[in-house]
Each structure stands twice: as C-alpha cells, then as structure tokens.
C-alpha cells in the first residue's frame, strides 16, 4: 500500500469516527432541547418557582446546527450534491464533486477562523446565560468544532473525488 493510500485510509477512518461522535452530539442536543422545553412548559403551566430551562434548548441548538452541518457535509446531503446528482455525465459529476469539496473546504476554513475568535471572546469574557448561568463559551465552542469537522469531511470528499472513489452518500444509499 502506498503512502498516499495509507494517508487517505487514515483520513477516512478518522472521518468515520468523527461522524459517529457527531451523531451522538446531535442526538444529545435534540434530547436536551426536548427535555429543556418540556420542563420549561411544565414550570410555566404549574407556576413553579424554578428557573426557566429554555436556555438549555437554546444552547443545544448550537451543536445541532454546526455539528449537524458537518454531518451534512459527510453524508453529502446539501444542495450542491443534489444538483450534481442530476447530471448524467460521470466526468461532469466528478468535476462537480471536486468543486463542491473545494468550496466547502474554503467555507469551513474561513468560518473556522471566525468561529475560533468568537469562541475565544466568549471564553475570556466569562459571559453566562441569564436563567441558568450556563457559560456562553459552551455553545460557542461548537461553532469552530463544527467548521473543523466540515473541513475534515470536505477534504476527505475531495480525496474520494480525485481518486474516483464514490462519495459516502453513494456508498450507502
């Protein structure tokens, strides 16, 4: 096995493991949203003197949004891929995959740096949510994490497209 084949195999392995973690992060986020909102509704309905837990649901939207974006990059379930799949020519599809992967890599990298600065500001400010006092740095952490994962997945897709391998979405219909 060549060095480049070993490297791409390693990247694909890391990518699969990251996707498994992404699924769990999104599952936990959805559960947190459900529980936070349900508890908040019960507190209001029964007029209980407890803090509003809606903050949990609001903060859980960050990992769901940004890590969920990375999941869409991995599975190829975004609009650019839908358009590419409509083209009959394999050569045009491959070029489309390469262009999309390059664009996603640039997008993820640019937003990673922006997000990293945002996270560092939230971390250093010590700012907290009003109801439960949850540090703002917790949800903002998922912005750079999600963008780093987008870069990982788009680089892996670029390798797959360049080496004539099917995308993840084509492997598992």
Residue range(s) defining the domain that contains residue 135: 3-171
Helices (H), the chain: 3-45, 54-75, 79-85, 90-125, 137-162, 168-171
37-77 per-position pLDDT tens digit: 999 999 999 999 998 898 999 999 999 999 999 999 999 87
The residues that bridge with 128 in the sheet, in sequence order, are 135
pLDDT tens digits for range 147-164 = 999 999 999 999 999 998
Q: Are 69 and 107 in contact (CB under 8 A)?
A: no
Total domain count for the chain? 1
The answer to whether the pTM exceeds 0.85 is yes
């Amino acid at each position: 096995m060549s060095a480049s084949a070993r490297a791409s195999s390693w990247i694909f392995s890391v990518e699969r493991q990251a996707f498994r973690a992404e699924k769990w992060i999104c599952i936990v986020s959805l559960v947190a949203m459900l529980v936070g909102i349900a508890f908040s509704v019960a507190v209001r309905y029964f007029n209980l003197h407890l803090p509003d837990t809606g903050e949990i649901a609001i903060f859980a939207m960050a990992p769901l949004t940004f890590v969920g974006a990375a999941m869409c990059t991995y599975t190829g379930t975004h609009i650019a891929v839908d358009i590419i799949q409509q083209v009959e020519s394999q050569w045009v599809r491959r070029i489309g995959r390469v262009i999309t992967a390059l664009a996603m890599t640039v997008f993820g990298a640019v937003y990673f740096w922006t997000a990293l600065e945002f996270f560092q500001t939230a971390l250093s400010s010590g700012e907290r949510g009003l109801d439960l006092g949850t540090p703002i740095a917790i949800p903002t952490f998922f912005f750079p994490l999600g963008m780093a994962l987008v870069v990982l997945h788009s680089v892996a897709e670029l390798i797959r497209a360049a080496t004539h391998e099917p995308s993840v979405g084509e492997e598992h219909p």
